[in-house]
Structure 1
Amino acid sequence: MRHSASWQNLWDDRILEIASLDDDGVVSVGDLSNHDLIRTSRSTVSRRCKKLAEHGLFRRVAEGVYVITDEGRGYLEGEYDVDQGIWLDQNQAEDGPTGPDAGTEEANGA
């Protein structure tokens, strides 16, 4: 079961799924917006990729080009809780938050 956050929508899962199919996980907004499973505008795809990057599921590597992160792959496998920013796997959960807020007072409960 995937553990999503309230900001996520259907396109986020599809975008991540497509990126995970690539061996190196690199995708461009243009390729995503032309994919058969994506039935929305290029501007929507671009906004969603930026949002995924803001939350640590994607990392921007160039203008309009992103790579799926370990957290993104973990989310797809049901091993990463996007809302909490934590790994659900016992070994990784002991290390604490690893999301975009890791190391901040907010992530540390302050």
Structure 2
Amino acid sequence: MRYSGSWQSVWDDRILEIIDKEGPSSPKTILDTGLVHISKGHISTRLSKMADHGLLHRLPNGVYTLTEAGEAYLQGEYDAEAEEFIEDPEEYEISASETEANGA
């Protein structure tokens, strides 16, 4: 289970998955995969936003790569909302569902 941030869009997971599989990528290389159905400009905006929140690292020439946090997020070991690593994902999932049940 992934722990998304309120700032994330529906396309962010797909973009991160592409970078995870393909390696460092630019908006054009992501668009060229045919796996996202948004404009190159929108991809660029999402990449920048994810970099601002620590999931991606900006390289020269508009290329992005996953950070340690980005890799952990894809594996369900990072909470993008709290911007913190999750030590025990199973325990964290139970705690999160208890918090939601209590209306917090």
Q: Give the % identical residues.
A: 42
Unaligned runs of 5+ in 1: 91-110
Q: Matches of residues 26-105 of structure 1 in structure 2 within 5 Å?
A: 26-90=24-88
What SS does the aligned partner of 1:2 have? Answer: coil
Task: Return 5+ residue gaps in structure 2 as ranges.
Answer: 89-104
Show the counterpart of 2:18. Answer: 18
Identify the structure with the greater helix proportion.
2
Correspondence for 2:7: 7
**Alignment RMSD, CA only?**
1.0
- Give the paired residue count: 88
Q: Distance in 1 between matches of 2:83 and 2:32?
A: 30
Instruction: Give the 4+ runs in structure 1 shifted more than 4 A.
Output: none
Q: Kindly name which structure, 1 or 2, has the bigger radius of gyration based on alpha carbons.
A: 2
